[in-house]
């Protein structure tokens, strides 16, 4: 079996990625937020210029699927009119900024995100690998530790902000008005210290090599106990709702937009900003015990050119058989794009069926091979 192709970059609006159902166009929303009008217009654009399906990515971006070469130009023109398109594809790729959806007005999150985006778009901004990214996570406790990032902005126990490199538990104290400047110092250090090789590289890899961070980045952070586990429900900033496989259609997006501004999350959930009750809409997951919250699946075949098998119908059938505290990842290939880390159970597609992996990622050595078909009994026995 041939190894999957690692692209080393993520799709954008200006540089879409070909897939089995057309071009994937990723919209990197400023500050991770859509106004109701923006959401309604994007819903209309998805139906007009794509196949109507939209995905929430693990970087809290919105992807429009099924866009054709002929429809791509008009789509980008419409997004440009909405102020959602960068100057060029290089500037777009650098603006890989993730913010906690639980930000509050005036807490510095949006200021840092906007300032950082402006600096990353400057002509002298460092050229970085396509997946290099940032997490602005300055609530009382970090919630984005499980999300991919190379540089993180978090809050210390005394209320001060700290900028740190992924892979280090120390960093540099900063203020909201100086956070972007501090981030860029760390970015330039990464680039000048050999963090990039043939256009690729991540911060954690550089740190693993034992390269010492600059002297000003030695403030020790307190360890975080446990990972944040998001579930649908009411929170201080609104209503957090789930979407099966992180996918949404134009009608549902427009209906949610009618309830308020929408914040994107890296958990394939949306937050309805300011909502005081959970929405009751078809396809929107509001019950924390919903089995669909216990399965993760990529697009699979035929929507993904590298997938060996369809994935989502299988994941949907198996969801009720996953234990309440478990997670099943169904991956179309060994890349494991939908869930790069280990899961309690992973099914990795092969040309002959699926390999089953316990407590591992999609590329890990399987416990069972070439299952075809996969049945609920396989899940029950594996758990």
- 42-66 pLDDT, tens per residue? 999 999 999 999 999 999 999 999 9
Domain contains 225: no
Band of pLDDT at residue 8, cut at 50, 70 and 90: low
Picking from 249, 264, 285, the residue at the C-terminal end of a domain is 285
Residue 224: predicted pLDDT: 65
Q: Which two tokens stand for residue 191?
A: 């680039």
- The answer, yes or no, to whether residue 333 has pLDDT greater than 70, is yes
Examine the domain organization and report whether 79 and 131 are in the same domain: no
Q: What is the mean pLDDT of residues 323-339?
A: 94
Binned at pLDDT 50, 70 and 90, residue 220 comes out as confident
User: Which pLDDT value is given to residue 9?
Assistant: 67
Residues 28 and 63: their CA atoms lie apart, in Å, by: 9
Residue 280 in any domain: the answer is yes
Same domain for 70 and 106, yes or no, is no
Residues 214 and 96 in one domain: yes
| Count of the separate structural domains present in the chain | 3
Within-domain flag for 367 = yes
* Distance separating alpha carbons of residues 201 and 132, to the nearest angstrom: 8
What's the rounded mean pLDDT across residues 77-106? 95
Range of the domain at 376: 291-382
Give percent above pLDDT 90 in the chain: 86
Q: Are strands 295-297 and 328-331 parallel, antiparallel or unpaired?
A: parallel
Using one digit for the tens of pLDDT, what is the confidence trace for 92-113?
999 999 999 999 999 999 999 9
Q: Which domain-ending residue is among 285, 303, 326?
A: 285
Q: Give me the pLDDT at residue 312, please.
A: 97
Q: Report which of 92, 228, 98, 215 is spatially closest to residue 150, judged by C-alpha positions.
A: 98
Query: What are 121-151's pLDDT values in tens digits?
Result: 998 898 899 899 999 999 988 999 999 999 9
Residue 131 located in a structural domain: yes
10 domain residue, yes or no: no
Residue 209 half-sphere exposure toward CB, CA atoms < 13 A: 12
Round to whole Å and give the CA distance between 49 and 34. Answer: 19
The lowest-confidence range among 8-12, 68-72, 136-140, 376-380 is: 8-12
Same domain membership, residue 274 and residue 204 = no
Please give the angle made by the CA atoms of 45, 51 and 56, to the nearest 5 degrees. Answer: 75
CA dist., res. 309 & res. 339, Å (int): 17
Helix (H) or strand (E) holding 250: helix 250-257
Specify the pLDDT at position 226. 65
Mean pLDDT, residues 174-202:
95
β pairing state of 343-350 and 328-331: parallel
Mean pLDDT of the chain: 93
pLDDT average, residue stretch 298-307: 93
CB atoms within 10 A of CB 71: 18
Q: Which residues, including other chains, have CB under 8 Å from residue 18's CB and lie 6 or more apart?
A: 24, 305
For residue 112 the two structure tokens come to: 């840092």
Domain boundary among the residues 250, 270, 285 is at 285
Same domain, 190 and 302: no
Q: Are residues 183 and 148 in the same domain?
A: yes
- Domain for residue 172, yes or no? yes
- Total-model pTM: 0.92
Identify whether residues 110 and 210 lie together within a single domain: yes
Distance CA 319, CA 170 (A): 40
User: Which CATH number is 254's domain given?
Assistant: 3.90.480.10
* CA–CA gap between residue 160 and residue 220 (Å, rounded): 12
Q: Does residue 3 fall inside a structural domain?
A: no
Q: Determine how many CB atoms are found less than 10 A away from the CB of residue 18.
A: 11
Please report, for residues 26, 46, 248, 271, 275, the alpha-carbon distance to residue 38 in angstroms, rounded to integers and kept in the order given: 15, 12, 15, 15, 18
Q: Please check whether residues 106 and 203 belong to one and the same domain.
A: yes
pLDDT over threshold 50, residue 300: yes
Give the residue-averaged pLDDT of 242-261.
97
| Domain match, 142 and 69 both | no
> For position 149, which CATH number holds?
3.30.413.10
Kindly state whether residues 149 and 213 are assigned to the same domain: yes
Answer yes or no: is 5 within a domain.
Answer: no
Question: How far apart (Å, rounded) are the C-alpha atoms in residues 66 and 85?
Answer: 19
Residues 203 and 241 reside in one and the same domain: no
DSSP string of 204-241, one letter each residue = HHHHHTTPPPPTT--EEPPPP-S-----SEEETTEEEE
Q: Of 116, 53, 104, which Cα lies nearest the Cα of 251? A: 53
Identify which of 150, 154, 140, 80 has the alpha carbon closest to the alpha carbon of residue 112: 154
Tell me the three state secondary structure of residue 360: strand
Residues 180 and 260 in one domain: no
Q: What is the pLDDT of residue 2?
A: 52
Residue 188 DSSP one-character state: H
């Amino acid at each position: 079996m041939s190894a999957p192709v690692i692209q080393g970059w993520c799709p954008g609006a200006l540089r879409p990625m070909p897939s089995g159902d057309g071009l994937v166009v990723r919209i990197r929303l400023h500050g991770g937020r859509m106004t109701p009008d923006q959401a309604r217009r994007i819903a209309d654009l998805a139906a007009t210029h794509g196949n109507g399906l939209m995905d929430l990515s693990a970087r809290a971006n919105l992807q429009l699927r099924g866009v054709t070469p002929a429809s791509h130009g008009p789509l980008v023109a419409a997004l440009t009119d909405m102020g959602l398109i960068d100057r060029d594809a290089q500037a777009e790729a650098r603006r890989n900024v993730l913010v906690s959806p639980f930000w509050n007005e005036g807490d510095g999150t949006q200021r840092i995100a906007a300032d950082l985006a402006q600096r990353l778009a400057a002509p002298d901004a460092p050229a970085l690998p396509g997946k290099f990214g940032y997490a602005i996570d300055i609530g009382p406790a970090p919630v984005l530790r499980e999300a991919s990032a190379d540089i993180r902005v978090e809050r210390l126990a005394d209320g001060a902000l700290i900028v740190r490199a992924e892979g280090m538990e120390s960093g540099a104290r900063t203020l909201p008005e100086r956070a972007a400047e501090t981030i860029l110092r760390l970015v330039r250090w990464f680039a000048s210290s050999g963090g990039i090789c043939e256009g690729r590289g991540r911060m954690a890899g550089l740190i693993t090599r034992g390269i010492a961070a600059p002297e000003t980045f030695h403030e020790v952070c307190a360890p975080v106990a446990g990972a944040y586990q998001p579930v649908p429900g009411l929170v201080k900033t609104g209503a957090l709702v789930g979407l099966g496989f992180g996918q949404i259609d134009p009608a549902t997006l427009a209906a949610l937009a009618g309830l308020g501004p929408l914040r994107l999350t890296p958990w394939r959930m949306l937050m309805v900003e300011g909502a005081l009750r959970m929405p009751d809409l078809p396809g929107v997951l509001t019950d924390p015990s919903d089995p669909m919250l216990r399965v993760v699946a990529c697009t699979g075949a035929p929507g993904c050119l590298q997938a060996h098998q369809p994935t989502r119908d299988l994941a949907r059938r198996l969801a009720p058989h996953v234990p309440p505290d478990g997670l099943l990842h169904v991956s179309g290939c060994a890349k494991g794009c939908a869930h790069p880390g280990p899961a309690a159970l992973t099914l990795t597609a092969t040309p002959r069926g699926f390999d089953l992996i316990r407590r591992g990622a999609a590329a890990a050595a399987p416990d069972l091979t070439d299952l075809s078909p996969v049945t609920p009994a396989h899940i029950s026995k594996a758990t």
